[in-house]
Chain A
Amino acid sequence: GENVEQHPSTLSVQEGDSAVIKCTYSDSASNYFPWYKQELGKGPQLIIDIRSNVGEKKDQRIAVTLNKTAKHFSLHITETQPEDSAVYFCAATDTGRRALTFGSGTRLQVQP
């Protein structure tokens, strides 16, 4: 089955800096890669996703890149703000299966 590795486990940045979180996956059949943000006491919130037919997707300060050959994808947050502080999870699946396989999470702390 699919295995998703995520790093770093914790990341501390200064407000205004960029943050990058990286994930690798094992199943070459995976073709859908969402990113979730989880705040304390809440459920995961979908923030951006990418499908295997594109290499990059942007939404304001958030971007995701995908390298299918290397089987890795990354989340980039620019101009970080204190409210970006949360745990971020990457996930992968192939749309035939639907079950998401999650990475282990990255705790991002943005220092004001």
Chain B
Amino acid sequence: EPEVTQTPSHQVTQMGQEVILRCVPISNHLYFYWYRQILGQKVEFLVSFYNNEISEKSEIFDDQFSVERPDGSNFTLKIRSTKLEDSAMYFCASSASSGVTNEQFFGPGTRLTVL
């Protein structure tokens, strides 16, 4: 069964450093998403991406964040200058198409720890 994959599973970084989280969405999916989950809290939407551009973003997704689809398979989230409060699980998700179907399939997540 196709699945979303993410690398690395755990990333430790120093405050102020740049990190890139990588995702490979399900191959025939057209919509891509990033969500985050701070330990013990609810999953929060960050950004959605379609047709090589951001289609929606939340207030969390400020100028420190960017997304990119550098090739036909990868989807990345970059945090330019990490803060302590960026420590969280980051989940990538993808969904198939437009229309009423919006089934989003999530990857296993990357745990980001900012020291």
- A and B, one complex? yes
The chain A residues found within 8 Å of chain B, CB to CB, are 31-32, 34, 36, 41-46, 49, 51, 89, 91, 93, 95, 97-105
Task: Give bound CA distance, A42 to B33, whole Å.
Answer: 17
Q: What distance in Å separates the Cβ of A104 from its nearest Cβ neighbour in chain B? A: 5
* Contact (Cβ within 8 A) A34 B103: yes
Beta-carbon contact of B44 and A102 below 8 Å? yes
Give chain B's interface residues, CB within 8 Å of chain A.
Answer: 4, 31, 33, 35, 41-45, 48, 55-56, 58, 91, 95, 99-109
Q: Which of A34, A44, A95, A105 contacts B100 (CB 8 A)?
A: A95
Check B42 against A93 for contact (C-beta < 8 Å): no
Q: Which residues of A contact B95 (CB under 8 A)?
A: 98
Q: Does B42 contact A104, Cβ atoms closer than 8 Å?
A: yes
Q: How near does chain A come to B49, taking the closest CB pair, in angstroms? A: 10
Q: State in angstroms the CA–CA spacing of A103 and B42 once bound together.
A: 6
